[in-house]
Amino acid sequence: MIKKISLLLATLVFAAAAFAQSNVPEATVRSFIGQMIGYDNGVTVKSVSTKPAEAPGFTEVTVLLNTAQGDQVLNFFVSPDGKFALIGQLMDFGADPFVRYRAALQKADGPSKGPKNAPVTIVEFADLECPACKAALPSIEKMQTENANVRVIFQNFPLEKLHPWAARAALYVDCLKTDDVVAWKFIDGVYEHQQDINEQNADDSLKKYAGEAGADAAKTAGCIADPKTRANVQASEKLGEGLAITSTPTLFINGRKVSSFNSLPAETFKQLVDFAAKNAK
């Protein structure tokens, strides 16, 4: 559905009423979406949010849609004069277009695998309740285990509007990150049993998989209850938002953003990693 919407939006020029810079009224967005996809009775708008985009004058719009396939997120940008909608990814331009992202990602502090001095660092912003993240992990771990040049960092980015227990799982990841081995065992365990976890049994399930990973129960419980842990997760979310992340998994390969990882051919993934290693800065 989102692909159909994106294709439709990307191939049209949209007229809209003029409004102040970075001040797109929610009513206008809802009317716009209604005109574009109102023919499909199976799609409704659940929420609309706007914020100034990284490109000066543009507004980034995020629409949460309820569809027959479940909730889906639609993102687009509105021009400064309010007359055009742009579908796509805004990118930095220059001789080194990834330098800003690399600098920001120095704050990535999630559990890691691989040498800390590896020439290639892959930062994966992920959500433990996200099926696409579960599907992506084997390819990412395979790349890391087969390539001494690669370090992988798991960075919390729970999509709380879509996934009711993702934020609780993120607390565990933050608490366990002091021991990379335990943290990754927990991540693997949660993904393995993801389909069995729900909002009602999440607390017991997460506690169970943390214990099976080797975590100290009392220490972990205290950490989960500590407000600092929630603040750490929020800081990770803020880091991702600053990098214009709107979906998971989103990877950064030495700063190069890869948003649609599961549609990336394995050979292309290897080429990106090899290129990053060769041109490491």
pLDDT in tens, 40-98: 888 899 999 999 988 889 999 999 998 888 888 888 999 898 888 888 777 787 888 89
Indicate if 106 and 196 belong to the same structural domain. Answer: yes
The CA distance from 275 to 279, in Å, is 6
User: Which helix (H) or strand (E) segment is 209 a member of?
Assistant: helix 202-213
Average pLDDT over every residue of 211-237: 97
Domain residues for 262?
99-278
Q: How many domains does the chain have?
A: 2
Model-level pTM? 0.76
| Percent of the chain residues topping a pLDDT of 90 | 67
Residue 256 predicted with pLDDT over 50 = yes
Indicate if 161 and 219 belong to the same structural domain. Answer: yes
Per-residue pLDDT of 138-166, as tens digits, reads 999 999 998 889 999 999 999 988 899 99
Q: Point out the domain boundary residue: 86, 108, 127.
A: 86
Contact 107, 113 (CB under 8 A): no
Contact 248, 125 (CB under 8 A): yes
Provide the pLDDT confidence category of residue 21 given band limits of 50, 70 and 90.
Answer: very low
Per-residue pLDDT at 2: 46
Looking at residue 46, its amino acid is: K
Contact 61, 36 (CB under 8 A): no
| Percent of the chain residues topping a pLDDT of 70 | 92
Indicate if 24 and 152 belong to the same structural domain. Answer: no
Residue 13 predicted with pLDDT over 60 = no
Contact 81, 235 (CB under 8 A): no
Indicate if 148 and 32 belong to the same structural domain. Answer: no
Looking at residue 40, its amino acid is: D
Indicate if 121 and 257 belong to the same structural domain. Answer: yes
